Structure 1
């Protein structure tokens, strides 16, 4: 567990002695030095890998370098060297990204390859404790659901994407409740990414519909509004500030999309939309202040 303390304030308040303050500063100096060394090591390893990739600019080289970097970081992680964990995390993350880019460039058109990349990103995120990789794993999951040879307009597979992402959100939420605080963060990052993506899928459905499921854009608009209302009500009752804020943002996007689609972009509609946006912002700010006075139940 990491705790941030203002040593000068504690010393001025008489909470700690000058000797204790100097002792704690010594620990901080050691950690700062280790942090700098880890960053330099990671930058050096990345530069060497980048130089090799520049000399041999192929997807196979990119994938091989990614595998080497990830394996090196995993070796350091398994050795449990306390001063080198940041270095291991950085090069594992970079290695996983390079490996996935290489394999994706070579075999990305194959649905099975996309499934493998998604599972690999999820495993790499768990080992490296990388929120970035966890988010990319969720993005990869959505591409598996929405695999389509005709990417535009996105009027196919929206129902499949929404149902799949909603199931993933529920699974990640239940998982986060059972994980230790140190491991909970990855599940929350992945869940938040899925929430953003499912709202994006609803947004596209509210414009283009879903021809493969025979659902019109109007039905998407109605279902999205009802879903956000129910989800937002739960978030308020459960004191989930991030969820409430995200619902408010997407509710505003949905509202103004329909507002201008119906009224058009004329001076009065723009003026009315601006006034409503200010009102929504004030309401959201007031809610955040109200939540700030209550004990937080979860980071999600």
Structure 2
């Protein structure tokens, strides 16, 4: 697993040689430099592509310039030296982006009646062709073919979303669309070995149950209409990702870890919503639908139907949510510390602070005795965690026949 360590201290303790420490530091620095260069390059490509499309504004001009840049980029990649490959990649991607982006704008703006069908089909063909070229390394330009595959993925998914919105589709089909999109992003991220793409899969996956965000003036809001079901959904994702981490190699495991981490974050945000508002489980899925037109009679009928549903549904109050969330965070804090999972440990600690800060204002602002009881309760919990950790170390030492220094 990846670990954070002080190389100087490891050298002083005799754990590793000074040469090994310098090699670790050099590789770490090079990884950060490469990430920074690629980030700047990608931002430049995206900015130039969008700017050229908006500046030219003519479909034919965009297509001609895009083809010229694409051809020029591949010419540089096929014949240029290693020092020029970055320029070849940039030119080819700007050209491909102009063709895909310009075509998308033209279809949506001037041919809306066929935009959804064309985008979904063309995007699927581009995605399949570019992925095939990437896997077989046909173009000898994996950076370009991988990026073009992502452009095709965006067109394909965007076309399907356009069809869904244009035809007023709702319910299960929308959830399946989000699940399909998440699956494509995970598969694409894994094939290209780009964890950022894998991480983006959490957005459509969460939207299967309408969990998401929206922005209005000076406020960015997270909402989860089905917090309990969303937490269970993320728990299944987390369990599946941890299973993958333990079963497959590091190349696959690092994608599973980033997805598990984001699923854990979303689950905690849903728990925050539940701790503030409580939850009527399944109300937005199986409960009464809101009327299309709000009238006094429609409101009365809807209110009666909603009350009838709540009488038979599982209702979790905000108080119960707060206690369960706190207990889960304490357990996860200990488990992640014992397993050396720094990501889950840090996230558990952060959300524990958020939970305490929120409840301080929501529930216990004028109840000082609550702080006394809560604080005293944490002391034996910490002692129990310490004793349990010592017991685990003793069991491991007994099994290996080596005395642990803390045992």
Equivalent residue, structure 1, for 2:384: none
Counterpart-to-counterpart distance in 1, 2:85 and 2:25 = 18
Alpha-carbon distance in 1 for matches of 2:25, 2:106: 45
The one of the two structures with greater contact order (alpha-carbon pairs below 8 A, sep at least 6) is 1
Query: Hey, what's the Cα distance between the residues in 2 that align with 1:216 and 1:90?
Result: 47
Partner of 2:266: 197
Deviations 1:236-255 (A, max 9, x none): 11122122111121111111
Deviations 1:113-149 (A, max 9, x none): 33333333333333333323322333322222x259x
Aligned to 1:115: 179
Matched residues in 2 for 1:164 and 1:234: separation?
21
5+ unaligned residues in a row in structure 1: which ranges?
7-28, 270-300
In structure 2, distance between residues paired with 1:104 and 1:224: 35
Q: Partner residue of 1:280?
A: none
Q: What's 1:42 paired with?
A: 93
Closer/same/farther in 2, CA of residues 185 and 205 from structure 1, 3 Å limit: same
Partner of 1:74: 131
Structure 1 moving runs of 4+ over 4 Å: 3-6, 29-32, 151-156
Root mean square deviation, CA, Å? 3.2
1:141 partnered with 2:205: yes
Partner of 2:236: 167
Q: Which consecutive residues of structure 2, in runs of 5 or more, have no partner in the other structure?
A: 1-23, 28-79, 215-220, 282-313, 369-407
What's the CA shift for 1:4? Answer: 8.4
Q: Distance in 1 between matches of 2:83 and 2:316?
A: 56
Q: State the secondary structure of the residue aligned to 1:189.
A: helix
TM-score by length of 1: 0.69
Mapped contact 1:93–1:128 kept (Cα < 8 A): no
Q: Give how far 1:261 is off.
A: 1.6
1:13 corresponds in structure 2 to none
Larger radius of gyration: 2
CA contact (8 A) 1:154 1:204 kept: yes
Partner of 2:148: 91
**Distance in 1, Cα, partners of 2:262 & 2:224:** 22
Distance 1:30 1:216, change over 3 A: farther
Q: How far 1:64 sits from its partner (Å)?
A: 4.0
How many pairs does the alignment contain?
239
Distance 1:195 1:30 in 2: 45
Residue aligned with 1:121, SS: helix
Q: Does 1:206 align with 2:275?
A: yes
1:236 maps to which residue?
337
Aligned 8 A contact 2:104 2:155 in 1: no
Asked if the contact 1:69/1:91 (under 8 Å) is kept, the reply is yes
Does the CA contact (< 8 Å) of 1:156 and 1:211 recur in 2? no
Shift of 1:84: 1.2
Quote the offset at 1:263 in angstroms. Answer: 5.7
1:220 to 321, 344, 348: 321
CA contact (8 A) 1:93 1:130 kept: no
With normalisation by structure 2, the TM-score equals: 0.52
